[in-house]
Amino acid sequence: MADEQNHEQNKAEPKNIEIRVRRQDGPGSEASWEEFSLPWKAQHNVISLLMAIQAAPVNAAGQPTRPVVWDCNCLEEVCGACTMIVNGRVRQACTALADELEQPIQLEPMSKFPVLRDLSVDRSRMFEKLKEVHAWVQLDGSHDLGPGPRQSAANQEQTYAFSRCMTCGCCLEACPQYNDDSDFMGASALGQVFLFNLNPIGAVQSEERLETIMGLGGLSDCGNAQNCVAACPKDIPLTKAIASLGRDVTVKSLRDLLGR
C-alpha cells in the first residue's frame, strides 16, 4: 500500500502546469500573451484548466487578472464550440489532455474567425455558408407526406461520416485557401452539399446546391492542399466529397452547355 503510494507520487511528480493564453479584450482590440501556472492534477484537459483559471484568476506572476473567456458546451467532442489552437494546431479543447501536451500549453483563438474575446470567436460565417448552399432537406409543408424513400445501406454508410460534421471550423482554420484574401467557403459547407445531395429527398434540390458551389468562393477555389481531411477531428472524408462534387459539376456544366 505504502509502496503503491510512493510509486504514485514518483510517477506524478507534483509540479505545475504552465499555460500561455493569447488574450484579447474585444473585437479589434490588441492581443497579448498572458502566462498561468496551475498545480498539476490528474486528468486535466484544456477546458478544466481554463475552469481552474476562472475559479482563481491569478496569472503566473501572482497578479490578479481577468478570467479567460472561452466557449464550450458538450465536453465530448461532438459540438465543436471549444475549437481553438492548442500548441499551434487547431483542435477541440475538451479532448486536449494536459498530460499529453507539451508545456507551456499555448492556447490561441482560431485565426480565421473574428475574435469576440480571448479564446471565443464568432463562427457565424460558417453557418451563413450552410444557408447559402442549402444544407438541409426541404419539405414543402407540415402535412403528412407518408414515409420517405428508403436509403440503401451503402448510401447510409457513405453519408453517415458527413452527418458527424459539427461545423467546428478545424478544416477552415487549417485551409491555406480560406483567408481574408479569398472568398472560399471551405470544406465543411462542401461536405454538407455532398451529404444532402446523397439524401434521397435532398437529391431533389441537388442541381440548386451544385449551382451554389459553382459560384465565387465555391468548389473551384479549392487548392487541393487537403489539410481539411487531415485536420478534421471527425475523420470526415472531405477530399473525397470535394473530388466527387468536382465530377458532379464537370458533368453538370457539360450538360448545361449542350442542353441549352
Partner 1 sequence: MAMTADRKHFLLRRLHSLSGLAPIGGFLLFHFYENGKVLQGPEVWTESAEAIAAIPLPLLLSVEVFVLYIPILFHGLYGLYIVRTAKPNFSSYPYMHNYFYTLQRLSGVLAFLFIGFHVGSTRLRYYFTGAHADFEYMQQTMANPLLLGVYMLGVVASVFHFANGVWGFSVTWGVTVGPRAQRVLHAACMAVFAGMSLLGVNILLAFKG
Residues in contact with partner 1 by CB under 8 A are 88-89, 174, 176-177, 179, 181-182, 184, 208, 211-212, 214-216, 218-227, 229-231, 237, 239-240, 242-250, 253
Residue 195, exposed/middle/buried by CB under 10 A (0-12, 13-18, 19+)?
Answer: buried
Q: Which residue has cell 497579448?
A: 32
Q: How far is the CB of 97 from partner 1 (least distance, A)?
A: 21
Q: Cβ closer to partner 1: 145 or 230?
A: 230
Instruction: Supply 25's cell numbers.
Output: 479584450
Q: Which residues contact 21 (CB under 8 A, 6 or more apart)?
A: 33, 34, 35, 36, 53, 68, 107, 118, 119
Please name every residue paired with 64 in a beta bridge, in sequence order, or none if there are none.
58
Q: Cβ closer to partner 1: 89 or 255?
A: 89
Q: Cβ closer to partner 1: 53 or 245?
A: 245
DSSP assignment, residue 169?
S
Q: Using only C-alpha atoms, what is the Rg of the chain?
A: 23
Q: How far is the CB of 148 from partner 1 (least distance, A)?
A: 25
Rounded Cα distance, 165 and 232, in Å: 9
Q: Which residues contact 5 (CB under 8 A, 6 or more apart)?
A: none
Q: How far is the CB of 214 from partner 1 (least distance, A)?
A: 4
In the chain, count H helices and then E strands: 9, 7
Q: Phi/psi zone of residue 61: left (φ > 0), alpha (ψ -120 to 50 degrees), beta?
A: alpha
Q: Phi/psi zone of residue 172: left (φ > 0), alpha (ψ -120 to 50 degrees), beta?
A: alpha
Q: How far is the CB of 230 from partner 1 (least distance, A)?
A: 5
Q: Cβ closer to partner 1: 139 or 251?
A: 251
Closest CA to 18 of 96, 99, 101, 105: 105
Q: How far is the CB of 159 from partner 1 (least distance, A)?
A: 15
Q: Cβ closer to partner 1: 38 or 210?
A: 210
Q: Cβ closer to partner 1: 24 or 177?
A: 177
Q: Cβ closer to partner 1: 25 or 211?
A: 211
Q: How far is the CB of 78 from partner 1 (least distance, A)?
A: 23
Q: How far is the CB of 218 from partner 1 (least distance, A)?
A: 7
